[in-house]
Copies of this chain bind each other. A is one copy, B any other.
Amino acid sequence: MVSEPVKTIERTRIYDVAAAAGVSVATASRALNDTGRMTEQTRERVKQVAAQLGFRPNTMARGLLGKRSFTIGLLTNDTYGRFTLPLMAGVSEALVDRGVSVFLCTIEDDAALAKVHVDALLDKQVDGIIASGRRVDRRLPVDLSNLPVPVVYAFTEGPDDSVTFISDDEQGSREAVQWLVSRGRRRIVHITGPESFASVQVRAQAYRTVVGEQAEIHHGEWSEAWGHEAVARLWSGADTPPDGIFCGNDQIARGVVDALRERGVTVPDDVSVVGFDNWEIVAAATRPPLTSVDMNLRELGREAGLTILALAEGKEVAPGIRRLPCQLVLRQSG
């Protein structure tokens, strides 16, 4: 497309609306914003004219008055987008009807880049910032605590007095293990990621709570390969192999299921397997498809979006950590 030197499409301004409706701009503004007092008739007429002319207020002008810009920033260091995208979808979904658009800023553990992005956001007078990440127990490489705009944290660690949204991994894990128990599984082991992850600790603890004494936790990498290896170990030892496996994430679970099939162990008849994350691409492609814990990130995003909006509008929001429930998605592996 050759650039259009003559942008003939002149936007209708509030002046045009006022003129067409036979009122002053002040009245027009009040009518359109449902403020001030005036005859319902005038208000209606102005609104009608505005609609007819396809009037859309200029956000820049509005923003210049020190009011809201109807934009927010979503900061994330989750390059892969595995967690960010569902979150973003939720945020966007919650805000788009209210005319708020979302700047997505991917900072890859790079403090300098993060600062550049945050500064750019502040220059644009965003109404708020949602900080997000790929690890619940890590902070973004940038300090957001003294910004002139509200900040909420989603799926990443924030300061003590911040509003933080995370999924309730404890509840999700508990339900997953309880599900295995309810299916008659008696020897349930937990194959999960590195101990250093907070989410590993929480999920393991929930598992322990349900199975009690017999708890048996195997730590490794977050990979399919580790799932294979763990199965090899469990089935080559002297102990009776488990009949139920709760995995720390879907990749491990897929490795486990594949390894079991290769050994001639039938899932879920001989062994039930449950994953975590409900990462469609992994869970659905596994044979049989994985039963998995979904963190409801979209819903989490919705909540975060609504909260940042409330803060932007000056409402009070109590600080603290909000844990949103996970949901066990049943497929065929467990």
A residues at B contact (CB < 8 Å): 1-5, 7, 9, 11, 56-61, 63-64, 69-71, 73, 79-81, 85, 88-89, 92, 96-97, 99-106, 113, 116-117, 119-125, 146, 148, 150-152, 161-163, 223-225, 251, 254, 258, 262, 280-282, 285, 311, 314-319
Contact = CB atoms under 8 A, between A and B. Distances in A.
Contact of A319 (B1, B119, B124, B148): B1
10 contacts: A1-B317, A3-B314, A56-B119, A56-B123, A80-B85, A81-B85, A96-B113, A101-B105, A102-B103, A103-B103
A73 B100 CA distance: 13
Given A119-B56, A120-B99, A3 B85 contact: no
Contacts of A225: 285
A53 to B, nearest CB: 14
Contacts of A60: 60, 63-64, 69, 124-125
B59 A124 contact: yes
B123 A99 contact: yes
A123 B316 contact: no
Contacts of A106: 88-89, 92
B101 A311 contact: no
